[in-house]
Structure 1
Amino acid sequence: MMIGDLEVHRLGFGAMRLTGFRPAEDRTEAIKVARRAVELGVNFIDTADSYGVGANEDLLAEALYPYTDDLLIATKVGRTRPSPSEWTPLGRPEYLRQAAELSLRRLKVERIDLLQLHRIDPTVPFQDQLGALAQLQSEGKVRHLGLSEVTVEQLEEARQVIDVVSVQNRYNLTDREHEAVLDHCAERSIAFVPWLPIANGDHASSRILTDLAAELEATPAQISLAWLLHRSPVVVPIPGTKSAEHLEENVAAARIQLTAEQLERLSAAGGR
């Protein structure tokens, strides 16, 4: 799959859980998981400046810097996390620029390969937020730009100002609110990066998933990820975990082949 001019494997890794709201004092296991992801062939890692108040980016740099040439670490700006239960959009242009500068420093890079607007701030003109991203790109501090949690209309408005190479929306087998956005991205060869791809593990109780998992000697989570990979060639799921065992299980889902009949059963049932 191409994200802009960068080729990534179809299954990425969401790094948020490596730190959580506040980073754990023992970083050893988290660093091992990040390194194991790369060892397993993952070359697309998703993070954000608000994960652990920057600690997630720090941890990835500690684990993986200097980066291999084919490793794409995507980060996001435009959202703060005052408490574990609060997420607040913050899209003032000066803030977006400052946040990007800090991400550059934490990730130890001169240019961010993919910078995504974490959320559109409804209190700031969208064009101003896009303008800040475009300026960062024109200055050579950002290679590619993306968006998160947007509608088709917002995506098209953004594309009048910036070249959008990725859209990161919540999407999984049982939550298809953004079906139209995915289809829109597929028609335009824009990478669609579903977050919460296995619904926080809730799919484990799905009858059809457990039945198919038994048929294919897999797990329900693996079947969920396999369905996403079959859903469209532009889909790049980013399952996250802080467990090396679960990481290996998730990555193995890319090898699962679903028949047309199995895909039809899953799509029709919605994971029920």
Structure 2
Amino acid sequence: MVSAHPGVPAPWTGTDSHPAPRRLGPWIRCWSPRPAARLRLICLPHAGGTASFYRPWATLLPPEVELWGIQYPGREDRFEDLPVDRMDELVTAVTDALAPLLDRPYALFGHSMGSAVAWEVAHDLRRRQALGPRRLFVSGREAPGTATIGDIHRQSDDVLSRELRRLGGTSDEVLTDPDLRPVVLGCVRNDYRLIETYHPTPHPPLRCPIEVFTGAADPELTPRSSRDRAGGWADLTTARTEVHTFPGDHFYLAPRRQEVVTAVLRRLDPSLAMGAHRWPSTP
């Protein structure tokens, strides 16, 4: 569940072509601030992932939508921060950090582990009587309570490396580099511990629509969820649930970036994806 270059948890301050993002405290990043935007899209990474995994989306969004990414500790510009390996602690910290962004409508998008975090954050926001998301986008994972739980975090580095190769998205160059390998695997192992020891408690159904995004050849999805692509998410809301399937494996998000962003925009507001706006493509 780690991406090759964005997932490498090393210090990062930006380059000339990719300036450092705006930080709103330690947890939130924005690469293209849009004070006049009427919607916000808040994205949560996968296990081992980073906020910058979503950075290329910023150039694909129209001026009406402002992109924010959640930065988990222990990677990139939070390399020296202690990682969090408990879901409740992570959710509380993320929900606290989101408070300044709740002054306008927003949606949550989570990939893999991030989908479970996003679901829990939506419930935590409701407990606090805060503004809830307009939509919840969940990607690459079955619903909490339905997803298969493993014990990869207890296995050797070789087993963990094989798991990352199985999912795709992590290059052999990273996994064989004697300096990068232990750093990357340490970050991934922590996040696997978090998601594999996570046992969701029952919540009342959400009231917002849930959009389920999947890769057609994602090895994380069970045969049952291949037949029922909603993967149990339809039971977790009183609103509508729709499934969007894209060509590709667990990390379909990278090669299908334009299609994914277009689908997100269409579900947020059809007018945003009807060609009424022109904005640059991904560099």
TM-score range, shorter chain: 0.3 to 0.5
Q: TM-score, normalised by structure 2?
A: 0.37
Which structure features the higher share of helix residues? 1
TM-score (norm 1): 0.38
